[in-house]
Amino acid sequence: MLPGGDLTEIGERGINLSGGQRARISLARAVYARADIYLLDDSLSAVDAHVGKYSNHLHLSESNSELFTPTCDPGKHIFDDVIGPHGLLKNKARFFVTHGIAYLSKVDTIIMLREGKIILNGKFEELLSRKTELYTLMKDYGSQATLDGNEFNRLESTEIEEDLGTITPNEAEEIIELGIYQEAESLDVRNRLASISTLRKASLASLKRQRKDDFESGNEQLIQREESAKGSVDLEVYKVYFKSCSLSALALYVIFMIAAQGLQVGSNLFLKHWSGMNRDNGSKVNVWIFLGIYAAIGLGSSAFTVIQNIILWETISGVATIRAYDQEDRFIFENECRLDDNQRAYFPSISCNRWLAVRLEILGSLVIFSAASLAVIDVLTNRNIDAGTVGLSVSYALSTNIVSVERIKEYIILPSEAPKIIEGNRPSHTWPDKGLIEFCEYSTRYRSGLELVLKVRHLEIICIVVCIVGRTGAGKSSLTLSLFRIIEAASGTIYVDGIDISSIGLYDLRSRLTIIPQDPVLFAGTVRENLDPFSTHDDLEIWQVLQNAHLKDHVARMNGKLNAVVLEGGENFSVGQRQLICLARALLRRTPILILDEATAAIDVETDSIIQETIRKEFGNCTILTIAHRINTVLDSDRIIVLDRGQIAEFDNPKTLLLNHDSLFYGLAKEAGLQ
């Protein structure tokens, strides 16, 4: 799965891994920890259906006495291999948080929560036989499964009827075995290490090929190794340093430094002479006078500190009144003026401190120079000192001081993103109005020297719902990153409504597209600021999109309503609520192009249904690109793109692809249990 096996280099925050691969590596790392207690917070939510689900082949029995006869291979499922009763963690305590109903029959105890309270606690069969809320959830789950599977069943010419009104524990478990609505994440068994012996062999194999891989993949590193802060320093660093200083300015600086040091020595000698004269003349100085003056100055400074901050404190405490009278601009201007006055007084102090630091650094350099000179003299005069020790000491001291210059040089030559705005080549305010996306001979990679992760010869999409599916690492997320120019093109072009996106600024491009990511992004602030950060919409519009996103009632119950506090990362909202806020934000922007990057992978079935319904209703005339894990949710889309190793392997409507039993999409649907 990974090009270098366990020696594959991972980029910052796993940039070169798909969401499923990141989750599987995280789970494998937890297993390696060999702890006694495992807390698994929805760790099987983000991977593709064929990875996370049961590998079932469903048939009608000959006598039709049973509804289905699933043949499940437990060796091909992460839940069975790792978390389940026969997995690697079978003797450990496992707290498994999940919205995947398919796993309920495989756990020892079920705890059902609502609004932070435990409402159910018991075994699966017991809770189902009592017709609790779990029973209702199973009925809804079974109904959804039947609905989503109808299209596939019709194409297979097999009609199956289910009586959900008289569901029994055994029938419920059979429905679960279908795996239609589960979205789980698992380790690929082809890469799973099943025993300690296998682990040892794999480790030895990695060590044997380390030297070879070092040479073969030397130019494929995603993270540049930190250069040593000790030892030799490149000559280029010194060249850049002296060139930046300007030789004339540097010479003038040295002259002033010598003069300053001379004056400093002279003033110290004069002070010494003056002190001696006072002592010789019998002058008496009362130390308590100086202490009293110092204490008075300290108290006065504290009092003035309180006074200088009082305007700012009063403004913050009275912000509601200021807003009520529409006086924000006046108070902002007044505070800025007072801040400028305050900084005028602080600037000389800061300058003096900086000047003192420069003097101390120069003094330290002189000490090092003197020590090095004396050491060289000692060596030349045959003293008991080793020349190698002297060289090492001087080199170490110099390298330690010059490392900051080396880092600054790296930042100077660091490549930057394209400009935010390209004047003279800005699109119109109505762009894009058609929602046309074209890929022409396009390819991209995450960094120069790496393999291409996406290769699209030609693709044209306009005002339709297109779902992108494929196995883990096929390039699904790379497609969306390319649209936003998070990764730049290696070759080819992407056109949006006839405009080459590489010819316009990043702000003009990204502000005209909308994405709902897999990991919902919320900022510290208020609900209003998270929905409308630029204050371009009124309250009526915001409440309307909250209603469409099924969040209006929840926000209305919060203290402050639209001004309710949102903690950093949205910690005071559940994952589903965060995703609904992102949906409301997208509804408020209402751009002609919407991208859903596995937006419903980590949320429950009910929230997923809400999001899918809202998107179909509110974005009916837009171009929608959806990256999906759940194959059953893409059956009603207009077109399906199947990616395989970065290339478009199939592009057609779902019905046509399902009719072709040799298609990749048919294989994915079959592995997902849609049969």
Q: What are phi and psi of 666, to 5 degrees?
A: -60, -40
**Residue whose C-alpha is closest to residue 602's, from 52, 197, 13:** 52
Question: Do 504 and 422 touch, CB atoms closer than 8 A?
Answer: yes
Whether 118 has a pLDDT exceeding 70, the answer reads yes
Which of 126-135, 140-149, 442-451 comes out lowest in average pLDDT? 140-149
Q: Please give the pLDDT value at position 502.
A: 92
Question: Using CB atoms within 10 A of its CB, is residue 542 exposed (0-12), middle (13-18) or buried (19+)?
Answer: buried
Q: At CA 585, angle to CA 635 and CA 603, rounded to 5? A: 50
Q: Tokens for 517?
A: 């990511």
Instruction: Report the C-alpha gap between 437 and 455 in whole angstroms.
Output: 16
Name the band, by pLDDT with cuts 50, 70 and 90, for residue 528: very high
Q: Please give the pLDDT value at position 271.
A: 60
Instruction: Report the C-alpha gap between 315 and 309 in whole angstroms.
Output: 10
Instruction: Report the C-alpha gap between 387 and 385 in whole angstroms.
Output: 6
Question: Do 399 and 231 touch, CB atoms closer than 8 A?
Answer: yes
Q: Please give the pLDDT value at position 385.
A: 64
Whether 552 has a pLDDT exceeding 50, the answer reads yes
Q: Please give the pLDDT value at position 494.
A: 94
Q: Name the strand (E) or helix (H) holding 139.
A: helix 133-155
> Percent of the chain, pLDDT > 90?
13
Name the band, by pLDDT with cuts 50, 70 and 90, for residue 675: low
Whether 439 has a pLDDT exceeding 80, the answer reads yes
Q: What is the residue type of 439?
A: F
Strand partners, 623: 593
Which of 191-195, 475-479, 567-571 comes out lowest in average pLDDT? 191-195
Whether 601 has a pLDDT exceeding 70, the answer reads no
Whether 151 has a pLDDT exceeding 70, the answer reads no
pLDDT in tens, 208-239: 444 444 434 444 454 444 444 444 566 777 77
Instruction: Report the C-alpha gap between 368 and 618 in whole angstroms.
Output: 71
Q: What is the DSSP letter of 227?
A: P
Q: Which domains does the chain have, with CATH numbers?
A: 436-445+452-671 (3.40.50.300)
Tell me what the mean pLDDT of segment 449-478 comes to.
87
Question: Do 379 and 385 touch, CB atoms closer than 8 A?
Answer: yes
Tell me what the mean pLDDT of segment 67-88 comes to.
60
Tell me what the mean pLDDT of segment 504-529 comes to.
89
Instruction: Report the C-alpha gap between 2 and 486 in whole angstroms.
Output: 23
pLDDT greater at residue 266 or residue 587: 587
Name the band, by pLDDT with cuts 50, 70 and 90, for residue 189: very low
Looking at mean pLDDT, say which of 66-70, 250-254, 470-474, 523-527 comes out highest.
523-527
pLDDT in tens, 52-74: 544 333 333 333 333 333 333 33
Q: Tokens for 531?
A: 């929905």
Name the band, by pLDDT with cuts 50, 70 and 90, for residue 549: confident
Tell me what the mean pLDDT of segment 421-444 comes to.
90
Looking at mean pLDDT, say which of 59-68, 88-97, 610-619 comes out highest.
88-97
Question: Do 651 and 613 touch, CB atoms closer than 8 A?
Answer: no
Q: Please give the pLDDT value at position 304.
A: 61
Question: Do 575 and 518 touch, CB atoms closer than 8 A?
Answer: no
Classify the C-alpha dihedral 468-472-478-480 as positive or negative.
Answer: positive
What does the H/E/C string look like for 240-272? Answer: HHHHHHCHHHHHHHHHHHHHHHHHHHHHHHHHH
pLDDT in tens, 265-301: 776 666 666 556 555 555 555 556 656 666 776 666 6
What does the H/E/C string look like for 465-477? Answer: EEEEEECCCCCHH
Instruction: Report the C-alpha gap between 86 and 174 in whole angstroms.
Output: 20
Tell me what the mean pLDDT of segment 491-503 comes to.
93
* Mean pLDDT over each residue of the chain, to the nearest integer: 74
Q: Please give the pLDDT value at position 408.
A: 82
Helix axis angle, 575-589 to 605-618, nearest 10°: 0
